[in-house]
Structure 1
Amino acid sequence: MNSRRVDRIATAIFWAGALAVIFFLGTIVCYILYHGGKYIDWAFLTKPSQVISAGGGIGPQIFNTFYLLLLSMSITIPVGLLAGVYLSEYAGANKFTEAIKLSIETLNSLPSIVVGLFGLLVFVNMTGWGYSLLSGALALTVLNLPFMVRITEESIRGVPAGLREASLALGANRWQTICKVVLPAAFPGLISGIIITCGRVFEEAAALLFTAGMSSPPMDFSQWNIFNETSPLNPFRPAETLSVHIWKINTEGLIPDLRRVADGSAAVLILFVLSFNLTARWLGRRIHRKMTAT
């Protein structure tokens, strides 16, 4: 068998694998959207959920999901970027760096339920915050931060050394080279890491069961004082996210229109994740072209 035939067979196998992934993913997405899309309307997206009577919606859960995403990523992104820059640009080959990398790899492999139990012990009980958005955001930060650090380090290491050398040769210092040359060149990889970590916030339920809670107290959207108990921006209130809501209603089985709410909530979650990924990638490409003048 000549090399050209081997190349064609290998190419066909790779294409078959890629098409199989696309097929199964498309089948799952279409199945969820087919069964849940027919229940989505404005009332379903804005009304609060009902425990006893039918006709409830998922308005508070949608708000809680995006607010938790904002709180978690406002910690994960800056800390992850700074740690990744340190490991890739400043850290030397020593035992301290090896200990950091070993800790990151260990944390990155922890099950989310273990992170949830850690959050219950530290963020819920030891701090006295109880079940709250802030406890959930910190638990998700513990879950996502190792991955963000790792993807930042790998993206920066993938930048050609010639770009750094050219910047330094033109008189830029090390920090200017990192900010003006290295990070813009690594921007596509950083965007991919941010999108994946955001997706984990959307779909995470196990860690939030023990930290953010499984209830959503009534919120007054005319009250924007974050220290008020009814304010939607209060980070110390318990909050049920969309993924936790799906798990809860399927587990308890109390509401009469269970299938409508569960299928509709799953379809909304899929649409949010797809929309967020597409928008983030489009925005990332625009920013990358602007930063690199391409």
Structure 2
Amino acid sequence: MGAAPTFRRSRSSKFVDRLMRGVLWGIAILFVLVLIVFVGAILKQGWPVLNLGFLTKMPETLDAGGGIKPQIFNSLYLVVLSLGISLPVGLGAGIYMAAYAGQGRALRFLRLSIETLAATPSIVLALFGMIVFVQAMGWSFSIRSGALTLALLNIPVITRVTEVSLLAVPRELKEASYGLGATKLQTILKVALPYAATGILTGLVLTAGRAFGESAILVFTAGTNASAQFPDFRLTVPGETLSVHLWYVTSDGTLPDAREIAAGTAAVMILVLLSLNLLVRLVDRAIRRRTR
């Protein structure tokens, strides 16, 4: 008498489990298809434009046939500079929140501040960077203004990813390290951080990709012009990036081949982001093999 309901519940739970698994698989496949269609459409339009001349020529202001050489350099340069500023700050803040802040009001206040900064729209950060760095400090539209404002965009993401990755480290590993006589700092540096490296690295790539594709902040801080010198490592010159160039070309409308340049620029951005993600996957796999 009592076995039948149990059997029915078992069959029902199996059906629900299969149904949910199918729904989740469908959602995953839908996301992949959307990505393929999105990337394919961009590459289909931009691929005919991509050639060595397009990648190595200076841009034109009125004539057709310009390239995006300085914009590629400025995009990578600004990402490296902003990460160089935000990575030490974000890592330090994440380590402090995960290992030293405890569970009191200080930690809750820090998390509220970090989450508020992470949720701040980029246009608000752009206005802040323009008011503080461009106008108040007199730096004008420059690489340093853009890099510092991008760092404000990066810090909350790196901080939160570092904290979450460190909190996911098994307690047994930490206790084993303490049992061998290691100090708290040694445990963090030699046990916790290597274990959490893959999560931190993934967050770092997401941060770099977001900074690479940012346009609103850089329009207001780095400007819409590129230096005539190449490569120009000066921090005081304007630094138009690929995303800003894409926006400027499509909105200005003075170039006769603006549509082709925009399509080629978008394709380059997609290829760079795909290459960056592939590189991170390879590094992640190498780290996992070493830690096994």
Normalising by structure 1, report the TM-score: 0.94
Residue number in structure 1 paired with 2:246: 246
Amino acid at match of 1:3: S
Partner of 2:162: 152
CA contact (8 A) 1:88 1:157 kept: yes
- Listed one character per residue, the Cα deviations across residues 47-87 of structure 1 (whole Å, up to 9, x for unaligned) are 01111110001000000001101100111111111110000
CA distance in 1, matches of 2:42, 2:148: 30
**Partner SS, residue 210 of structure 1:** helix
Counterpart in the other structure of 1:179? 189
Q: Is this contact kept in 1: 2:70–2:230, CA < 8 A?
A: no
Q: 2:92 aligns with which of 69, 78, 82?
A: 82
Correspondence for 1:45 among 42, 49, 55: 55
Q: Is the 8 A contact 2:198 2:287 kept in 1?
A: no
Three-state SS of the structure 1 residue aligned to 2:221 is coil
Supply the AA of the counterpart residue of 1:273. L
AA aligned to 1:199 is G
Q: 1:220 to 1:39 in 2, by over 3 A?
A: closer
Instruction: Provide structure 2 residue ranges, at least 5 long, that are not aligned to the other structure.
Output: 1-10
The 10-residue stretch of structure 1 (88-97 or 160-169) with the greater mean CA deviation from structure 2? 88-97
1:134-145 alignment runs, 5 A limit: 134-145=144-155
Q: Classify the secondary structure of the residue corresponding to 1:2.
A: helix
User: Contact conserved, 1:184 with 1:288, CA < 8 A, in 2?
Assistant: no
Q: Secondary structure at the match of 1:25?
A: helix
1:92 alignment partner, SS class: coil
The alignment partner of 1:282 has SS state of helix
The alpha carbon displacement at 1:284 in A equals: 3.1
Partners of 1:287 and 1:43 lie apart in 2 by: 38
Once residues 126 and 76 of structure 2 are traced to their aligned partners in structure 1, the CA distance between those partners, rounded to angstroms, is 19
- Structure 1's unaligned 5+ residue stretches are 222-231
Matches within 5 A, 1:175-214: 175-214=185-224
Q: What's the TM-score once normalised by structure 2's chain length? A: 0.94
Residue of 4, 8, 12 corresponding to 2:14: 4
| Higher helix fraction (1 or 2) | 2
Larger radius of gyration: 2
Shift of 1:96: 2.3
Between the two proteins, what is the percent identity of the paired residues? 46
**Compared CA separation, residues 138 and 91, structure 1 to 2 (3 A):** same
- The C-alpha deviation readout for 1:139-181, integer Å capped at 9, x for no partner, is 1111111111011100100111111001100111111110111
User: 1:275 corresponds to which letter in structure 2?
Assistant: S
Q: Does 1:284 align with 2:284?
A: yes
Provide the C-alpha distance between the structure 2 equivalents of 1:285 and 1:126, rounded to a whole number of angstroms. 46
Superposition misfits of 4+ residues, deviation over 4 angstroms? none
Partner of 2:38: 28
Q: Which one-letter code corresponds to 1:236 in the other structure?
A: T
- Asked whether 1:13 is paired with 2:23, we answer yes
Q: Summarize deviations over 1:230-253 as a string: whole Å, max 9, x none.
A: xx1101111100000000000111
Question: CA separation in 1, counterparts of 2:215 and 2:114?
Answer: 22
Which one-letter code corresponds to 2:76 in the other structure? F
Please say if residues 63 and 255 of structure 2, whose CA atoms lie closer than 8 Å, have aligned partners that are also in contact.
Answer: yes
Deviation of 1:220 (Å): 4.3
What CA distance in whole angstroms lies between the structure 1 residues aligned with 2:22 and 2:167? 32
Mapped to 1, the partners of 2:120 and 2:167 lie a distance apart of 25
1:255 maps to which residue? 255
Q: Which amino acid aligns with 1:274?
A: L
Equivalenced residues, count:
282
Which deviates the most, 120-129 or 5-14?
120-129
Shift, 1:288, TM fit: 4.4
Structure 2 vs 1, CA of residues 158 and 220 (structure 1 numbering), >3 Å: closer, same or farther? closer
The letter of the residue matching 2:152 is: V
Q: How far off is 1:93 after superposition? A: 2.2
For the aligned residue pairs, the C-alpha RMSD in angstroms reads 1.1
